[in-house]
A and B are shown apart, each in its own frame.
Chain A
Amino acid sequence: MKIRDLTELAARNLREAVLRNSLTTLGIAVGVASLVALLSLGVGLQQLVDHSVARAGLFDIVTVRPRQNIPFGQGRERRTTKDAEDQMPPRELDDAARKEIAALPNVLEVDPEVRFTGEARHDSNSQLVMVSGLAQSSQSSGFLDGMAGKFFSGPDAQEAIVQGDMAKRLLNAGQAPDSLIGQKITLRFAQRQTLPPLSQQAATDAPTDAVSPDEAAMGFSIVPSEKQFLVVGVTPTSEAGGGQVGFNNAGIYLPLDVAENLQVVDRSDLRNMSRSASSVGQRYGALNVLARSPEAVAQIESSIARMGFQAFSLIDVTRRLRTFFAIFDLFLAIFGSLALAVASLGIINTLVMAILERRREIGVLKALGAADRDVRHLFFAEAGVMGLVGGMIGVALGWGIGRAIQFGTTVYMKRQDMIAPNIWSVPWWLVLGAIGFAIFVSLASGIYPASRAAKLDPVEALRYE
């Protein structure tokens, strides 16, 4: 018999015992709904985490630092690329290295990591704050999602973006963080001033007490400095769900070039004192390498490690995160499938009852020329139709349950003055997979009744009253 005929006959048979078949189909629907609702929450949570990490622009960034020569057993590196690292001795992270890294395939941008601690002042309020330089490319990375105001007007603009919590602390109590936009803040920091070489110092008439012997040895002196910046943007506060993410967290962000030109003293200055003078041009504490895509990160990381630097990315972390979510989703699917397993017993019961009721009909079908496989297929088709309809209703039901949970979460979060994250997602693969799984379970449940029906002796079946 052709599939269309089988489906028509199956649908007709199902309509004839509409109450019993509807209840069985409802059982499947409830099973699928629990599966879809649980998995939609699992997928939603995974997407939420993925989005948070992606929002920080971290999937495509490799952080490069000079490799430390730590004796074996006294330190632990965050990422082990030892095989590659062993190929090259540690190197200075200088301009030459920066150019070399920039020339690697799939590298879009190499920016120095500028981070320092300073003191921010506004009116009578002052706060110790972490300041970070922000490259122009950050504008499109999603890092500043939800920010009030605008991005820097240019790479040299004397402007600042302030993190929401920091903005609150710099303002008087009761003022909204956004009200800082358009106002000026003062930043105090330790500035490095390069000294002339020792030979020239001796020849000048400069007072000798201005430069200490230590500073003279370092080649620079440290002086307190301050500068004013116009606040152009304020990021969301952590209470509003805009907490800091990524390893570029800071209280105040400045354009990268501006931050670099401040000549702030940082850890690398002290480290460089003990290093050889073989480096070329400026030396960096760290470089942020922007990859063309997250897929290229591993290869870039490996190339940089081979060059003699320490490279770190979040690829490993996210990989572990994905493994965790895969296991989490698997558990959710198992729990969701339990209801479907119970529903499958309902299908078996319904079909076995149908055999008893339709014994004579099976005999007539066989007398008219139905082969065993036709009868088997007919019962399979009935199970499959129940699975299909139950699957579709179940997906709709699961979608509704997920929506309701999302709605409840949103209402609760808003009452707490927090941004409600989307913790629910029903992707197409889940819709199709759930319906396919419902059909598969239904067909599997139909195996026993279908083969029992197919094996009926037609003579016996025709005699059945």
Chain B
Amino acid sequence: MPATRAAKQVSTNCVRALGLKHLRVILRNMTVPDNSGGSNGFAIRADRATRIYKMGGATIRAVNEISLDVGAGEFLALLGVSGSGKSTLLNLMAGLDRLTAGAIFAQGRDLATMSAEELASHRNHTIGIVFQSFQLLPRMTLEENVELPLRLAEVPRGERPDRVREALERVGLSARAKHRPMELSGGEQQRGAIARALVNRPMILLADEPTGNLDSKTGEEVMNLIAEIHRPPSGPGRTIIMVTHERALAERYADRIVTLSDGAIIREERLR
């Protein structure tokens, strides 16, 4: 029996006595990093994924029957002009939006069949999201922002300070923990957002135009950080799916580039 399955079996037996209420939380917190993707080595798999919006009388196919496999540990860049459907596809992979047709599997689980509660858990544990506009909550300090996913995951309070410190150290912002987002530069805010995305140790990082609001130098710093998260000097790496409209950036960091236009894949390029 693989170590992961054995660990889960033991934990399941232990928590039976504790009651169903605690079962989900404990299992959540005991999730062992599994880079295999749980499904033939794929972290994410889209099968004829379709998202149709109806606006007034018009029907817009934002994502049109896209089939795509993202390998575990792969760095995939979704390239395309504005309105090509790349952000919509990312939102579908994140479980922020629902498919109209088709399926998307994340680590072997079909997002289309998940309940709203399960999708929330997917966003909390399986993936981390980085936005173009950082989306740090302005009323909270940086460390409070980073602690948010831990609160939502009901991680014991005693563990949280270490986890937050670890995440902030990784992005080089330990000294700015007590600062509010308004007191940070754009690059620092984005690094803070990356720390928040990683604090729950997800295996997939989704980044939507992470350098879109940054100057080129700061953008490069952020991309270097993402690249390091993808392939750290030690320990397991993470699957990265990044949306960008900058081809140069994609070519420099990604393993593969998928170009979208009008909601469909028009080109795939494997770089590494």
Do A and B form a real pair?
yes
CB < 8 Å: which of B91, B124, B135 contacts A369? Answer: B124
- CB neighbours of A12 from chain B (8 A): 139-140
User: Is B117 an interface residue when CB atoms closer than 8 A count as contact?
Assistant: yes
| A16 lies within 8 A of B139 (CB) | yes
| Measured CA separation A9–B152 after assembly (Å) | 11
Which residues of B, 177-213, contact A by the 8 Å Cβ criterion? 196, 200
Q: Is B148 an interface residue (CB 8 A)?
A: yes
The verdict on B68 contacting chain A, using a C-beta distance below 8 Å, is no
**Cβ–Cβ < 8 Å partners of B96 in chain A:** 366-367, 458-459, 462
Q: Which residues of chain A have C-beta atoms less than 8 A from B196's C-beta?
A: 368
B129 at the interface (CB under 8 A from A): yes
Cα(A364)–Cα(B131), bound, Å? 10
Query: Are A371 and B116 in touch, CB under 8 angstroms?
Result: yes
Task: Answer whether A371 and B120 are a contact pair too, CB < 8 Å, given A365-B148, A366-B96.
Answer: yes
Which of B121, B129, B151 gathers the greatest number of chain A CB atoms within 10 Å? B151
Q: Is the interface of B mostly helix, strand, loop or mixed?
A: helix
Kindly state whether residue B123 has any CB partner on chain A within 8 Å. Answer: yes
Query: Does B79 sit within 8 A of A, measured CB to CB?
Result: no
- Known A5-B151, A366-B123; contact A372-B139, beta-carbon cutoff 8 A: no
> Assuming the A-B contacts A16-B139, A364-B135, A458-B96, are A369 and B152 also in contact, with contact meaning beta carbons closer than 8 angstroms in the complex?
yes
How large, as a class, is the contact surface on chain A?
A: 20 to 34
Chain B residue with the shortest CB-CB distance to A6: B151
Q: Is the CB of B131 within 8 A of A369?
A: no
B153 cross-chain contacts in A, Cβ below 8 A: 369
Residue A2, interface by CB 8 Å: yes
Q: Which of B121, B125, B131, B149 contacts A462 (CB 8 A)?
A: B131
Chain B residues near A16 (CB-CB < 8 A):
139
Contacts of A462 in B (CB 8 A): 96, 131, 135
Determine which residue in B131, B137, B152, B196 has the highest number of CB atoms from chain A within 10 A of its CB, and name it.
B152
A452 interface residue, CB < 8 Å from B? no
Verify if A103 is at the interface (C-beta below 8 Å from B).
Answer: no
B154 touches A369 (CB 8 A): no
| Interface check B262, CB cutoff 8 A | no
Q: Which of B91, B117, B139, B157 has the most CB of A within 10 A?
A: B139
Q: Which of A9, A366, A371 has the largest count of B CB atoms less than 10 A from its CB?
A: A371
How far, in Å, is A21 (CB) from chain B's closest CB? 13
- Name the residue on B nearest A367 (C-beta): B129
Establish whether residues A367 and B117, one from each chain, have CB atoms under 8 Å apart when the complex forms.
no
Q: Majority SS of interface residues in chain A?
A: helix
In Å, the complex CA distance between A371 and B119 comes to 8
Alpha-carbon separation in the docked complex, A371 to B115 (Å): 10
User: Min CB distance, A376 to chain B, in Å?
Assistant: 12
Judged by a CB distance under 8 angstroms, whether B97 is at the interface is: yes
A361 contacts partner chain B, Cβ-Cβ < 8 Å: yes
Interface string of B133-155 (1 = CB under 8 A from A): 00101011000000011011110
| Among A369, A458, A462: residue with most chain B CB under 10 A | A369
Q: How many whole Å from A312's CB to the nearest CB in chain B? A: 60
Chain A residues, CB < 8 A from B157: 4
Least CB distance, A258 to chain B, in whole angstroms: 75
Q: Which residues of A contact B154 (CB under 8 A)?
A: 1-2, 5
Contacts of A4 in B (CB 8 A): 157
**Chain B 36-54 against A: per-residue CB contact (8 Å), 1 yes, 0 no?**
0000000000000000000
A329 close to B (CB within 8 Å)? no
A370/B152 contact (C-beta < 8 A), A458-B96, A459-B97 known: yes
Q: Given that A372-B116, A458-B96, A459-B91 are known contacts, is A367 also in contact with B135, CB under 8 Å in the complex?
A: yes
A interface residues (Cβ-Cβ under 8 A, vs B): 1-2, 4-5, 9, 12-13, 16, 360-361, 363-374, 458-459, 462
List the 9 closest pairs (A to B, CB-CB), nearest first: A369-B124, A371-B120, A5-B151, A369-B123, A369-B152, A368-B149, A364-B135, A458-B96, A371-B117
Chain B residues at the A interface, C-beta cutoff of 8 Å: 91, 94, 96-97, 116-117, 120-125, 129, 131, 135, 137, 139-140, 148-149, 151-154, 157, 196, 200
